[in-house]
Amino acid sequence: MPLSRRWTLTRYLIEERRRFPGASGDLNALILDVSLACKAIARIVSFGTLNDNAPAGGSVNVQGEAQQPLDVLSNDIFLRMTDWNGHLAGMASEELEAPHQIPAGSQRGKYLLTFDPLDGSSNIDVNVSVGSIFSVLRAPQAVVDSGRDVTEADFLQPGTTQVAAGYALYGPVTMLVLTVGNGVAGFTLNHNLGEFVLTHPNLRVPEDTHEFAINTSNSRFWEPPVKRYVDECLAGKPGPRGKDFNMRWIASMVAEAHRILMRGGVFLYPRDTRDPAKPGRLRLLYEANPIGFIMEQAGGRASTGRQPVLGVQPSALHQRIGLVFGSKNEVERIERYHHDTPPRDSISPLFAERSLFRD
């Protein structure tokens, strides 16, 4: 299609806004600023180790994880490109322990933004795709009315309340995938224009798949339903599933989500027993919920294994959660396997494996 006939992200947002004649346009303006942050991050990521202005690395973030210089830089870009525009009441980031306040002197708005500025950043040094993930929530009315600073509690809203969510993928091409609650659209960065143009309208996740993604090095910590599911996939054609499966693991959830949107599949980073203090690896507010919203809007499904992830009431800003998403029928099967097995918490510790009564 000639470029002149392709919609830009701006046009897509304007056409979507027509569904709500009373809308102020604040959400659109916010998403455009987020997309500008993503373009800036795409640029620095593409320079790799040639970046002269990257801050020194080697620190550890609030999650106790190694922080790459580009994690810090990407976080700063998200903050700087969105905190001035008057549309936000506050922000929360993977890289910041506490919510980020809109600076004094800047107007405060009615939305909250949560984000993972660089997902899969352990892949940066090996030149594998990384991305940014974001979610937009409404600020509680009391925050909007008073203009007060935001608190952690203001962000603890279930994923069903998200107004918009998206991710940018910095792969061989840079793409932005977005939902404003009316399906999922994919945009490709046109470097000549410096604009995201609509290349993948109405993305749909195929309901069935024969491709799964899981970090099998954790298998000894998996709960029985996950072990059963993966064992059945590995058994292939002669096994209970009666078909062969393929496996992928990129270690960038954003890249796995994109593959699944393009051709189906199922991704699991389930709750496991590796570290009782960490129920799962991925974070609810800025990883699981935005990707879950996109999957559901594309006809896929996102779950903790036991319940739809978007229905979970968050309890902490950096809460981790087990996550399974992708092709609907496959995710539902994994949920069935979980419901067939009593949850770990319901087994009395006195009688559980490795308890007082077992050695």
The window from 99-107, 112-120, 156-164, 271-279 that contacts ligand AHG (CB under 6 A) reads 112-120
Look at the block and give the residue holding tokens 């455009």: 32
- Give the span between the Cα atoms of 234 and 229, in whole angstroms: 9
Q: Which helix (H) or strand (E) holds 114?
A: strand 111-119
Q: Is 252 in the site for ligand AHG (CB under 6 A)?
A: yes
- Least distance from ligand AHG to the Cβ atom of residue 262, Å: 17
Q: Pick one of ligand AHG, Mn ion, none as the site partner of residue 211 (Cβ within 5 to 8 A by kind).
A: none
CA neighbor of 84 nearest in space, from 62, 109, 110: 109
Q: Is 121 in the site for ligand AHG (CB under 6 A)?
A: yes
Interface with Mn ion in residues 78-97 (CB under 5 A)? 94
Q: Is 302 in the site for ligand AHG (CB under 6 A)?
A: no
Identity of residue 280: G
Which residues 6+ apart lie within 8 Å of 331 measured at CB? 266, 300, 301, 302, 303, 324, 325
Q: Pick one of ligand AHG, Mn ion, none as the site partner of residue 65 (Cβ within 5 to 8 A by kind).
A: ligand AHG
Q: Is 114 in the site for ligand AHG (CB under 6 A)?
A: no
Q: Is 215 in the site for ligand AHG (CB under 6 A)?
A: yes
DSSP code of 134?
Answer: E
CA neighbor of 212 nearest in space, from 252, 271, 243, 256: 256
**Among positions 253, 284, 309, 321, the unique one binding ligand AHG when judged by CB under 6 A:** 253
Look at the block and give the residue holding tokens 């006195």: 350
**Among positions 100, 281, 301, 338, the unique one binding ligand AHG when judged by CB under 6 A:** 281
- Give the span between the Cα atoms of 309 and 302, in whole angstroms: 6
Residue numbers at the binding site for Mn ion (CB under 5 A)? 94, 116, 118-119
Contacts with ligand AHG by CB under 6 A lie at 65, 94, 116, 119-122, 215, 251-253, 269, 281
